[in-house]
Chains A and B, each alone.
Chain A
Amino acid sequence: MGLKDFIVEIVLQNKEKAKDPVGATIQRDLIAKKGYANISNVRSGQYLRISVEANDKEEAKQNVVDMANDLRIFNPVTQNLTILNVTVKS
């Protein structure tokens, strides 16, 4: 089994306590004002789509998490890292 190409999609989001003025403004000043009363909360974030060579999905994901921790791709003081998806590159 050789290395395969994977796509790892991640999102960086502010922690609750660090607030998210972008998401709050979208919700308050646009969505709520236009009458979408059923939409109560919006959180914004940064999306990164990363191509990585690995033996399997788990290794691809772990490589990205290790790199993100090592290089502070997310700031652990203020942000959370979420893995959205790991897929085989077609």
Chain B
Amino acid sequence: MTIKVAVIQFPGSNCDLDTIHVLNNVMNLEANLIWHNDFKGDKYDVAVLPGGFSFGDYLRSGIIAAHSPALDEAREMLRDDKPIIGICNGFQILTEAQLLPGALLQNDSLKFICKWIKIKVENNSTAFTNKMENGFIIDIPIAHGEGRYFTDKAEELEENDQIVFRYVDEKGNPTIDGNPNGSLDNIAGVCDLEQKCLGLMPHPERASEQILSPYHTDHGRLFFESMIDFINRRS
């Protein structure tokens, strides 16, 4: 079975083509770029909400895209056990659509931060992390102005294993030094209760080829390998 992946394009998406490239040419999947108003979830096994600045980030990052019919389709896919991943702006959209808990606020530094950082795997049982070891440190870049994760339900998320990644320092510890944007408890990515919907600020699609990594790593592939494994085991 060929796994069919939809990369949903909003006005202002700008990581959509990078994501398509990795899915098609690195992971050898069948990925289609779909305009958000035309997206139909029943034609796909998985959907990716890519990074960018949907609708110019007007009002709040992700809020206008969260009202797109594509998010109703995404809700339907999750009900059908199909995984969804939101990367960067895609994460912001998923929180504003309330498919994921919490919110992404302006970075503490007020700066747009574009650099390679490290995140630690906290939950390797999600649809996008099952090929990772818990505690594994991932080299991956971030590029955002509004990535400061906030929730008033941090304990609840911890109890429900919904915290999937934390920002860590060079030694692998979730310290202030390792926290690029002021996120609460160094949270870099969260999932839904069913662990099929993942959102994170870092960009796996920019970390999936050794030639693009300053460390010659391709840890981003693990996200997509996990996704493939999840779908193959399910079908």
Contacts and interface: CB of A to CB of B under 8 A. Distances in A.
Given A18-B105, A21-B106, A72 B150 contact: no
Given A17-B152, A18-B150, A78-B150, A71 B106 contact: no
Given A17-B152, A78-B150, A72 B66 contact: yes
Contacts of A77: 102-103, 150-152
A73 B60 CA distance: 9
Interface string B77-90: 00000000000000
B63 interface: yes
A49 B102 CA distance: 27
A18 B103 CA distance: 10
Interface string B44-77: 0000000000000001100100110000000000
Contacts of A46: 59
B105 A14 contact: yes
Given A71-B67, A72-B66, A22 B150 contact: no
B192 interface: no
A65 to B, nearest CB: 16
Interface residues of A, number: 14
A73 B59 contact: yes
A80 interface: no
A82 interface: no
B14 interface: no
Given A77-B102, A77-B150, A72 B108 contact: no
A73 B182 CA distance: 24
Contacts of A25: 110
A83 B103 CA distance: 23
A22 B110 contact: yes
A21 B107 contact: yes
B122 interface: no
B96 A72 contact: yes
Contacts of B108: 19, 21
Contacts of B151: 77
A25 B182 CA distance: 15
Given A17-B152, A18-B150, A77-B151, A72 B63 contact: yes
Contacts of B107: 21
Given A21-B107, A21-B110, A22-B110, A75 B60 contact: yes
